[in-house]
Amino acid sequence: MPDLLLELLSEEIPARMQAKAAEDLRRLLADNLKKSGLAYDNAHAFVTPRRLAVAVEGLPAKAPDVTGERKGPKLDAPEQAIEGFRRSLPEGANIEQRDDRKGRMYFATWEEKGRDTPDLLAEAIPAALAALPWPKSMRWGSHAVRWVRPLHSIVALFDGAVVPFAFGPVASGDTTRGHRFMAPDPIPVAGIADYTEKLRAARVLLDREERKALILERARTLCASEGLALREDAGLLEEVAGLVEWPVVLMGRIPDEFMVVPPEVLITAMRVHQRYFPALTASGALAPRFVVVANRETPDDGATVVAGNERVLRARLSDARFFWDQDHKTPLDDRVPKLADMVFHAKLGTVKDKVARIADLAATLAPYCKADPAKARRAAELCKADLVSEMVFEFPEVQGIMGRYLARDEGLDPEVCEALAEHYSPLGPSDACPTAPVSVAVALADKIDTLVGFWAIDEKPTGSKDPFALRRAALGVIRLIVENGLRVPLAVIFEEELSLYRKFSPLKKATFFRAGEEGQLGENITEDVWQKRAVELPSDLLAFFADRLKVHLKERGVRHDLIAAVFALGGEDDLVRLLARVDALSEFLDSADGANLLTAHRRATNILRIEETRDGVAHDGPVDPTALVAAEETALTAALAEVEPAVAGALDNEDFAAAMSALARLRAPVDAFFDHVTVNSEDANLRTNRLRILSRIGAAMQGVADFSKVEG
Rg (alpha carbons) of the chain, rounded to whole number: 36
Give Cα separations from 337 to 341, 353, 376, 379, 424 (angstroms).
8, 10, 19, 16, 21
Please provide the CATH number assigned to the domain covering 333-557: 1.10.3210
Scored b (16 or more CB within 10 A) or e, 69-89 reads: eeebbeeeeeeeebeebeeeb
What is the pLDDT, as a whole number, of residue 208?
95
Range list of H helices, 104-206: 117-131, 192-201
- Total-model pTM: 0.79
Tell me how many degrees the CA angle 559-563-568 measures, rounded to the nearest 5: 140
347-375 tens-digit pLDDT = 888 999 999 999 999 999 999 999 999 99
Q: Decide if pLDDT at 168 tops 70.
A: yes
The domain locations on the chain are 4-62+116-201, 66-112, 208-323, 333-557, 579-709
Task: Give the pairing of strands 161-162 and 94-100.
Answer: unpaired
Residue 525 has pLDDT above 50, yes or no: no
Reported as a single tens digit per residue, the pLDDT across 283-338 is 999 999 999 999 999 999 999 999 999 999 999 999 999 999 999 999 999 999 99
Mean pLDDT of the chain: 90
**pLDDT for 327:** 95
In this prediction, residues 407-417 reach a mean pLDDT of 96
Q: Are 493 and 361 in contact (CB under 8 A)?
A: yes
User: Which tens digit of pLDDT belongs to each residue from 20-72?
Assistant: 999 999 999 999 999 888 999 999 999 999 999 999 999 999 888 877 788 88
Omega within 30 of 0 (cis) for the link into 426: yes
Three-state DSSP state, 530: helix
pLDDT of 598 > 60? The answer is yes
Contacts of 224 (CB under 8 A, 6+ apart): none
pLDDT at position 505 is 66
pLDDT > 90: what percent of the chain? 59
579-709 homologous superfamily: Isoleucyl-tRNA Synthetase; Domain 1 (1.10.730.10)
pLDDT for 570 beyond 60? yes
For 330-362, b/e burial (b = at least 16 CB within 10 A) is eebeebbeebeeeebbebbbbbbbbbbbbbbbb
